[in-house]
Amino acid sequence: MAGQSIAGAAGRMTVAEGDRSARARLVILSLCLALAVSVLLSLTSGASDASAVGVVRDWLTGAVPGDAVLSARDRLIVYDIRLPRALLGVLIGAALAVSGAVMQGLFRNPLADPGLIGVSAGSSLGAVAVIVLGSTWLAPLTSALGTLALPLAAFTGGLAVTLLLYRVATRHGRTSVASMLLAGLALAALAMALTGILIFMADDRQLRDLTFWQLGSLAGATWQKIGSVGPVIVLALSAMPFLARGLNALALGEATAGHLGIPVQRLKYTAIVGVSAAVGASVAVSGGIGFVGIVVPHLLRLLIGPDNRYLLPASALLGGSLLLLADAVARTIVAPAELPIGIVTAVAGAPFFLWILLRKRGVIDL
């Protein structure tokens, strides 16, 4: 039986058949370790040869001045350049992966992904509008909101696309995959066209910012950026676990979820706002990093099943780790130059997406 073979080593003796929760907990625990290792790897890889042992020892003894293990230059590199970059990577990887999992639950479809269906494009439009028009048309807004203007604008753009998409693709509580993907395509194209107009209006300095940012990158991570988007992402992510039971019930359809006592309307809007906030904040600092939201939840579903109570935290952990690994590749593969991380995730993610599509062709009716 397939269920039994998958149940594997995680305690077939003690766990009831078909109950994958023990295994899910084990996987989550391992992912915590993997994330710690990834962070350490991210802190120690690069031109400076700070060793992992050195970083840990320095961190443990660093509170005492003059007792530091690393040189002043290495400390600067590790604490002011690599650490914010690693933290930003974890935050964004987690935000994108969890957003993907939540959207897939919401649309009842394993192919939904914020990047694929235009949510990221909407966020980009909002962010580019602030970058280009921030000192002219939108000056009152940017001066009033300060560093929050960019994430807020990205959030608004993403929210607008998600709401529109949901309206277009869902009829009588059923979401048509074909309408979802096609409407997402159209909305993404529209958002990109509008973004194009803004880019056309941009000056040289803004253009340089925009190009790198649009391909997606963790470069330029600073403590200040983490301060402005970190709280948004952490808030959005900490709301998600409360949606897990509802999203599980939603797998049976909106009507049945309602019959089970789930306040479906509230669930849907909380999910949409949460996803838009998380994606908007990510896009605001790092641009469009694709495919994390589709690859991570899919891999985890193969491993621990689709129960969102475990899938959401596991997605956050694996998303963070994978993005750090992708960033390590981006930093080293063309060293001393650096590849935008969005290119790395697309090169790895797009074939993976095609593979899912081929595998699922019989199961998903478009």
Partner 1 sequence: MIEARDVSVAICGKRIVTHVDFAARPGEIAAIVGPNGSGKTTFLKALSGELAYTGGIALNGCDLKAMKPVEAATYRAVLPQATTLSFPFTVREIVRLGLVGGRSGVLPGENARLPERALARVDLDGFAGRFYQELSGGEQQRVQLARVLCQVWAPVLDGKPRYLFLDEPVSSLDVKHQLIIMDIARDFARRGGGVVAILHDLNLTAMYADRIHVMHRGRLAAAGAPQHVLTDELIEKVFDCRLKVGVLPAANMPFVLPQSAA
Q: Nearest distance from residue 70's CB to partner 1, in Å?
A: 47
Q: Nearest distance from residue 278's CB to partner 1, in Å?
A: 21
Q: Which is nearer to partner 1, 133 or 262 (CB)?
A: 262
Using the rule CB under 8 A, give the single segment among 48-56, 183-191, 194-202, 304-312 that binds partner 1.
304-312
Q: Which residues on adjacent β-strands are paired with residue 175?
A: 170
List the end-to-end C-alpha distance of the chain, in Å, as a whole number. Answer: 29
Query: Residue 110 interacts with partner 1 (CB under 8 A)?
Result: yes
Query: Residue 256 interacts with partner 1 (CB under 8 A)?
Result: yes
Determine contact, residues 157/280, Cβ cutoff 8 Å.
Answer: yes
Using the rule CB under 8 A, give the single segment among 17-25, 119-127, 162-170, 281-289 that binds partner 1.
17-25
Q: Nearest distance from residue 226's CB to partner 1, in Å?
A: 34
Q: Which is nearer to partner 1, 146 or 261 (CB)?
A: 261
Query: Residue 262 interacts with partner 1 (CB under 8 A)?
Result: yes
Q: Which is nearer to partner 1, 62 or 253 (CB)?
A: 253
Query: Residue 20 interacts with partner 1 (CB under 8 A)?
Result: yes
Q: In whole angstroms, give the CA distance from residue 114 to residue 271.
A: 12
Pick from 70, 53, 92, 40: nearest CA to 328 = 40
Residues 6+ apart with CB under 8 A from 270: 239, 242, 243
Q: In whole angstroms, give the CA distance from residue 307 to residue 310.
A: 6
Q: Which residues on adjacent β-strands are paired with residue 174?
A: 171
Using the rule CB under 8 A, give the single segment among 48-56, 126-134, 242-250, 281-289 that binds partner 1.
242-250
Burial class (CB in 10 A: 0-12, 13-18, 19+), 1: exposed
Q: Which is nearer to partner 1, 208 or 360 (CB)?
A: 360
Query: Residue 9 interacts with partner 1 (CB under 8 A)?
Result: no
Q: In whole angstroms, give the CA distance from residue 116 to residue 99.
A: 12
Q: Which is nearer to partner 1, 40 or 356 (CB)?
A: 356
Among 19, 26, 212, 338, binds partner 1 (CB under 8 A): 19
Query: Residue 259 interacts with partner 1 (CB under 8 A)?
Result: yes
Query: Of how many residues is the chain composed?
Result: 366
Q: In whole angstroms, give the CA distance from residue 57 to residue 77.
A: 16
- The alpha carbon of residue 261 and the mean position of all alpha carbons in its chain are separated, in whole angstroms, by 30
Among 179, 258, 348, 356, binds partner 1 (CB under 8 A): 258
Query: Residue 58 interacts with partner 1 (CB under 8 A)?
Result: no
Query: Residue 364 interacts with partner 1 (CB under 8 A)?
Result: yes
CA distances (Å), origin 285, targets 1, 150, 205, 211? 47, 8, 17, 13
Q: In whole angstroms, give the CA distance from residue 334 to residue 203.
A: 29
Using the rule CB under 8 A, give the single segment among 15-23, 129-137, 200-208, 325-333 that binds partner 1.
15-23
Secondary structure class of 228 (helix, strand, coil)? helix
Query: Residue 194 interacts with partner 1 (CB under 8 A)?
Result: no
Total site size for partner 1, rule CB under 8 A = 34
Got the DSSP string for 316-363?
HHHHHHHHHHHHHHHHHTTTTS---HHHHHHHHHHHHHHHHHHHHTTT
Q: In whole angstroms, give the CA distance from residue 91 to residue 89.
A: 5
Q: Nearest distance from residue 180's CB to partner 1, in Å?
A: 12
Query: Residue 319 interacts with partner 1 (CB under 8 A)?
Result: no
Query: Residue 17 interacts with partner 1 (CB under 8 A)?
Result: yes
Binding site for partner 1 (CB under 8 A): 1-4, 7, 16-20, 108-110, 245, 248-249, 251-253, 255-256, 258-264, 301, 305-307, 363-364
